Structure 1
Amino acid sequence: MNDRENLCLLHSKDLLDQKRLFLLFKRLAGQHSVSIAKNIHETIKEFNSATFTEDQKLFEDLYKIAATIENKVIDVDVLKQGVNKLLDNRKTIPQPKPEDLCVNDSVFQNKILSKENNQKTAPVPAVYDMLSLLYLTTNEKQRQQHFHDLTKYYYRQLKDHLKQLSIELDEILPLPVYEKKIKDFIPNAKLEVILHYLNQDAKEDTFTSELIQELYLYVLYPKINIEDCFKIAKEVVGIDYNFLSYELVEANGLLGALGQYYKLKLTINKAGDDVVLNLFAKFMIDFPKDAFPGGEDAFPKVGDAFPKDEPPTLSLQEEFVYTIFVPELKNIGLGNICDFLPRCYFMRSSDVMVFEDLTYSDYEAVNSEEPYSYEMLLLVVKKLAKMHACSLLYEEITSKGSGETTKINVQFSKYVMGFSQAVDTKFKDTIHYCNVNTTVNYVYNQFPDVAKEITMEEFRERSRDIFDSMLDKMKTSGKYRNVICHGDIWGGNILFKFEGTRPVDCSLVDYQMIRYCPPAQDLMAFLYINTDKNTRTNYLSKLINDYYTEMSTIFKRYSFDLSTVYPYEVFMDSCEYMKSYAVCQAAAYYPSSLDRKKVQDLLGSIEKTVRFFAVDKTEVLKVLMKHDWIRSRFREIVEDLYDLCLQK
């Protein structure tokens, strides 16, 4: 099959087999590389933003087909609205960026549409051209099996071809950006291919009806597409299945400053039976940066700390945990102690992560009105011990194997630096001082009788010093051994499983705030954020010992001695050192953690959420403080802060 045969219009009856399909995209990458190399130093002034036909009859045909597709219920009015939105967006596409990598010799536009329109089209992004050809030469079953393999294969081939032309694709189109562009271009490419089919009078063609159904699903659920769902289903059940449909519904009652949460339901047929796969999707928030004091300048800037293909993002740390760290742990035999977190089935950098939905396995986030019981606390303490043991054992095992000292913060420095260690700390300081001001001003004013030996002003001044010292304790320690800490270990990130009323397991979720710090940072913060004073009085010392005992047991399982790696006396000293950090963290978390449902109802929008976390919590606290149990918990933490101030 020559180039001309490869890069021509293929009728639906002439489906390519897998080998010929991959050969087609290898040839396409080669052709695109030549065009990209020619354009690389030029600014594309005209973007192909109006290639859609204006023939209204084709759109009428589209909607007629949609209304009559067998066994599928499509709301044609909803589909029309979605298509019109795509058309409107298409007309207002901004000037192309360098990473769009426009090609002049578009296979789809110039070799196919030009035959229909008898005109040469403007440059188009290579990714868009690739997708258009993909939808033109495959049916849904083939895309279910090969979409992600084909798009990755095209990227690798394009990278190899450009390298021969002394161009590094990673520098001009990093893989995460490429994957995001695929998501962005998919609906337009599908619509354009649908219109092409209709122009070819392929109204009865299964290709056409399949793409219309897929386009309708996109209109319903634009945050995720069917191609994503193909990959997710493959990760869950393997390749032997037929995809039927999917549904994305917002998960109510979940509070998160760094994500939006959804329930994702996939319906497939496997071995003749319809099966529903229930999943949990977290989408990264596109923060309105002007809502922060300082606007754009308030966000972290880490300069050259990150390579061009891995810019810092709000999801970088969690992506590292799932795609790099946990696989590394499994590679060295630590897979049996990686059960502290849920499974992740899909990820698109800076956009979405899809996990198993633990609520369908009877896991739940517990209401904070009742402090955790000792049994619940013990479950979490043991999971933290597993998580932290993974870091210490990883360093010990890899150091022993290589003969050189391994430190996670050296090997994976760009992933574990965290907000607390960003080069530019304005973002961190914005949130930090919002917490401090809320506590020492509004909260302290609710309990004026706490300060006795010193004045309220002295109490406030000393408290500010203690809060500021907390920032240093969020950094990698030069005195104590460090581990990958969760960094955000409050009730909303802990799911429990019960048998009757007895807690039997827990899972730790949300790893966007990890950092490389002493394990006592997580342990002490957890024990203060999620308990009341009575529980701490009765069980704090015991739970600290339970943690060390559990970690010691894990070390013995792998033939290591914890007492030589992290001596008990050193560990206990680190817990005492982290006590003030834990008290400050509890004070900072209480406004959002004590009544999550109420706070969620009061916020309700990204703008209000940003204001709550980075500007002022007072209005929300005025509502929360009407509840006696919440006032009681705040009073207890104010008393703990006061005790710390008296020790200064």
Structure 2
Amino acid sequence: MEHQTKMGGQRRLVLEEILNEKQIHHVLKQVIGDTPWDLKWSEVRPAVDGIAGFLGDHMKAVLYVDVLGEIKKVHLFVKRIPENNKPKADFIDEFNFYRREMLMFKVLEEIPKEGPNPWCGKAYIYSESIFVMPDLAVQGYTTRHYLDTLDTQHIFITTTTIARFHAAFVNYETKKSIMLNRPYNTLQEYGHLLVESTFCDSPWMNPCAKLSTSLIKAFSSKPYRDMPDMEEKLRKLFLKGCYSLKEYEDTVNVLVHKDLWVNNIMFKYENDTPVNAVLVDYQALRYGPPAFDLMIFLYVTTDRHFRDTKEKDVFNHYYTVFEESLTDDSKKRMEGLGFDRDNFLEWCERARMFGMVEAIGIYPFILMDPKTAQKEFDDPATYEKYMYEDRSEPVLAYSMKCNVYRDRNLEASEEFVERYVLKEL
């Protein structure tokens, strides 16, 4: 029996075309257990009207299951390799994006489960082509609007989650080291997966420098708007920032999420107050000092005024939660590495350049409304041009229509020029 739903004017989505019978049984066994069940029907729809995330097709499904005469609804969130954009599918496969997220869920199986406020979700299925997870929206979690910058409450609750995530991983490596009676290093085992694909000297980075130059020339009122050779200066410094995210031998390293924009953070509320944040989408996973995640998070979710006035409070809050979440054995390991509050604050400054490059690189995509982003950046005919040559045309055109989009993209590029380019002149 086909389980399907309409997609407006598009072809119907059919459950059996997304999950095979074995996968459906695997999911329902985890949800329902060994109790006999019978799948009666299902509904499948796109997660949003447009692009829900850049690295895959995203869907929501509801399975109506007869369990001992009672219909139980099983709500799922599904992410799979794009079907209609082969260049993007090849990009995802070549650079191990889904395999990196598989690694994260594998590690999570060895990390003690959290209480009522987890820092991550779970996956019923994780493979090289598809992920099937509970739909956290049904559990009361929601994301912010894609153009939102986060206020202090949301920043601090997310900072708590990021610190707990990093501490859990430190505890994981500490425990593995004790069990193996030798220092355990995740990168040594999985380094073939944790390689960079875009934030390195790659064709994807060159259009970032071209676009920043175009934005400044088109919209900035700063005296440096016509700086000679700006594009080349930016390109060299962008790459310097990119290569700063790596493993360092003289400090603690963790699995770094590296993609902490508002769509990858889900909030739960009580009386309109955020009480927990959950991190989702680990396909951009890297390995390096934890400060990189925090700086990425701040640069892609806040404005310059917030960072200028509140970032030190955020840094201190992170370190307090991180330290409190460590086991005694992990605390001893941190002492041996000389990783204390002052050292962490030094790392935050060292990670700043990468956080800025990340914001500059992904803002054009994540701050555009999903339907327009799908039209502009998910068309196989123009995909490679906008990814690897020049994306200025669609970005400048959309900037003329959306002031917030224009201002946030421009502010990020201007801050980078003022912090790094002008200092080298």
TM over 0.5: yes
What is the RMSD computed on CA atoms of the aligned residues? 3.2
1:535 aligned onto 2:306: yes
CA distance in 2, matches of 1:351, 1:226: 16
Alignment of 1:517-556 (within 5 A): 517-555=288-326
Distance 1:499 1:327, change over 3 A: same
SS of 1:328's equivalent? coil
Deviation, structure 1 residue 458: 4.8
1:480 counterpart residue number: 251
Letter in 2 for 1:638: S
CA distance in 1, matches of 2:15, 2:189: 43
1:447 counterpart residue number: 219
CA distance in 2, matches of 1:219, 1:284: 16
Identity of aligned residues (%): 22
Contact 1:494–1:507 (CA under 8 A) maintained in structure 2: yes
2:367 counterpart residue number: 594
**Structure 1: segments with no counterpart, 5+ residues:** 1-65, 67-71, 76-81, 83-216, 302-311
Deviation, structure 1 residue 446: 2.2
Alignment of 1:105-504 (within 5 A): 221-240=16-35, 241-253=37-49, 254-285=51-82, 288=85, 313-322=96-105, 324-330=106-112, 339-347=118-126, 349-419=127-197, 429-440=202-213, 442-452=214-224, 456-504=227-275
**Structure 2: segments with no counterpart, 5+ residues:** 6-10
2:8 counterpart residue number: none
Q: Which of the two has greater helix per residue?
A: 1
CA distance in 1, matches of 2:345, 2:258: 19
Contact 1:521–1:581 (CA under 8 A) maintained in structure 2: yes
Distance 1:407 1:315, change over 3 A: same
Deviation, structure 1 residue 263: 0.7
Letter in 2 for 1:629: V
Letter in 2 for 1:464: R
Distance 1:472 1:275, change over 3 A: same
Letter in 2 for 1:383: T
2:423 counterpart residue number: 647
1:620 aligned onto 2:391: no
CA distance in 2, matches of 1:604, 1:623: 13
SS of 1:265's equivalent? strand
SS of 2:267's equivalent? strand
CA distance in 1, matches of 2:174, 2:115: 17
Aligned residues, how many? 412
Once the two structures are overlaid, the 10-residue window that deviates more, 220-229 or 242-251, is: 220-229
Q: Which of the two has greater strand per residue?
A: 2
When Rg is computed on C-alpha atoms for both structures, the one with the higher figure is 1
Contact 2:148–2:301 (CA under 8 A) maintained in structure 1: no
Once the two structures are overlaid, the 10-residue window that deviates more, 364-373 or 412-421, is: 412-421
1:567 counterpart residue number: 340
Distance 1:286 1:261, change over 3 A: same
Contact 2:203–2:389 (CA under 8 A) maintained in structure 1: yes
CA distance in 2, matches of 1:506, 1:220: 30
Q: TM-score, with normalisation over the residues of structure 2?
A: 0.86
Deviation, structure 1 residue 641: 1.1
SS of 1:496's equivalent? strand
CA distance in 2, matches of 1:342, 1:517: 22
SS of 2:58's equivalent? strand
CA distance in 1, matches of 2:398, 2:42: 38
Contact 1:257–1:613 (CA under 8 A) maintained in structure 2: no
Structure number with greater CO (CA < 8 Å, separation at least 6) is: 2
CA distance in 2, matches of 1:231, 1:457: 60
Contact 1:483–1:516 (CA under 8 A) maintained in structure 2: yes
CA distance in 1, matches of 2:82, 2:117: 28
CA distance in 1, matches of 2:398, 2:193: 36
Once the two structures are overlaid, the 10-residue window that deviates more, 476-485 or 544-553, is: 476-485
SS of 2:282's equivalent? coil
CA distance in 2, matches of 1:471, 1:283: 28
Distance 1:601 1:415, change over 3 A: closer
SS of 1:329's equivalent? coil
